[in-house]
Amino acid sequence: MTTISLPNADRSISAYTLTGTPIPFVQHKASDFNRIAYAAAHVVADPLASNDPWLTPAIDWDTTLKFRHRLWDLGLGVAEAMDTAQRGMGLGWAEAQELIRRAQAEARTRDDSLIAYGAGTDHLLPGPDVTIDAIIAAYEEQVGFVEGQGGRVILMASRALAAAARTPDDYAKVYGRILSQVKQPVIMHWLGEMFDPALAGYWGKADHDAAMDVCLDVIAAHADKVDGIKISLLSAEKEIAMRRRLPASVKMYTGDDFNYAELIAGDAQGYSHALLGIFDAIAPAASAGLAALGKGDTQAFHAVLEPTVALSRHIFAAPTRFYKTGVVFLAYLNGLQDHFSMIGGQQSTRSVQHLAELFRLADKAGVLGDPELAVQRMQAVLKVNGVSA
């Protein structure tokens, strides 16, 4: 068995022996699943670009797009240009447009490429002079671009709207205008303030239950234009409550990276589909679990996915917006990219102790595909941080 010296929370160093059994990479098709499952995919930075990393994003397009094919090979859909890709947190609208263009071109090369694209208002900086009409125009620009590329829209929450709206009616006006114009049903996205503090009070209500009433009214008024909604509130109870109140034609896509296994499995009154950042990091496990569920084997589904929940809760621990660091770190450990660099230098947002615990939990969950490679790469990161093997 392989052993590595890892730091602990109390600053001590102790030996850790890997015991996990790697979940194999097994190709599946989306038709093998009885749930729709999107992985919100990250982008791979280009660490050799001659740029200012904090100011100018540089993307390794070949590796980024190769990763999308990997997700499709596992039967997963790709939720593109979302917050997992550092959208609005390093990845600007200009880079997002290029990502959408390139991803859509790759999607056209195969007949099993489920993909949808984030459209929001992140090119419009929030401020006191931003009007509701300006926000509508910003949404129209991005939705128009995605639809112009032939893509399906994920309607992202808007920081500008959260700052400018004075009442729930402002939200109803903006969403009503956009939903009335879309060419095909969209996936809405309610991203909680734990993921983005600028979105606190979304839907014009500080209380999530009251905000849910506003959101549900918007959906009910435009149900024919809404495929589903992804909510990211990290509360199974709130998601289930909303799921049970949705129109019959509207799907719930769980964005709950704390409770996804139980929400996808569902209960006697329904279940959630998935649109998750953690599925980027645990893709083979997600695919294997969904394939088992598709065969009616709920026990095998939980046996695969439940061990990943502790890992996900660690990756998405507060400050939750830094979860992207853990997603990219796992891609590095698993040899899916050759470096641990991120747009905006966000690899620095988590401590070495956090990364060490991530390593332990990833091993226990079976999501280190090549344990020896993972150990080598973990040791390299530790050495840079002053921890010798």
Residue 269 sits in a domain whose CATH number is: 3.20.20.70
Strand partners, 87: 91
In a domain, 308, yes or no: yes
- Same domain for 277 and 329, yes or no, is no
Predicted confidence at residue 336, as pLDDT, reads: 98
Range of the domain at 274: 36-42+50-321+341-349
- Same domain for 383 and 253, yes or no, is no
- Same domain for 156 and 300, yes or no, is yes
In a domain, 214, yes or no: yes
- Same domain for 369 and 229, yes or no, is no
In a domain, 106, yes or no: yes
In a domain, 261, yes or no: yes
Query: What one-letter code names the amino acid at 305?
Result: L
In a domain, 90, yes or no: yes
Q: Strand pairing of 3-7 and 13-17?
A: antiparallel
Q: What is the C-alpha separation between 187 and 255, in angstroms, rounded? A: 12
In a domain, 28, yes or no: no
In a domain, 31, yes or no: no
- Same domain for 291 and 227, yes or no, is yes
Task: Give the Cβ contact number of residue 224 at 10 Å.
Answer: 10
**Helix, strand, or coil (residue 375):** helix
- Same domain for 345 and 373, yes or no, is no
- Same domain for 117 and 98, yes or no, is yes
Strand partners, 258: none
* pTM for the whole structure: 0.97
Q: What is the C-alpha separation between 252 and 189, in angstroms, rounded? A: 10
Predicted confidence at residue 389, as pLDDT, reads: 59
Q: What is the C-alpha separation between 355 and 294, in angstroms, rounded? A: 33
205: left (phi over 0), alpha (psi -120 to 50) or beta: beta
- Same domain for 274 and 373, yes or no, is no
Locate all alpha helices (DSSP H) within the chain, ordered by sequence: 61-73, 93-107, 132-148, 159-164, 168-181, 208-221, 236-243, 260-265, 278-281, 283-294, 298-315, 323-333, 352-365, 371-384
The single residue listed with the structure tokens 């060490």 is 356
In a domain, 255, yes or no: yes
pLDDT tens, N- to C-terminus, the chain (389 residues): 799 999 999 999 999 999 999 999 999 999 999 999 999 999 999 999 999 888 899 999 999 999 999 999 999 999 999 999 999 999 999 999 999 999 999 999 999 999 999 999 999 999 999 999 999 999 999 999 999 999 999 999 999 999 999 999 999 999 999 999 999 999 999 999 999 999 999 999 999 999 999 999 999 999 999 999 999 999 999 999 999 999 999 999 999 999 999 999 999 999 999 999 999 999 999 999 999 999 999 999 999 999 999 999 999 999 999 999 999 999 999 999 999 999 999 999 999 999 999 999 999 999 999 999 999 999 999 999 998 75
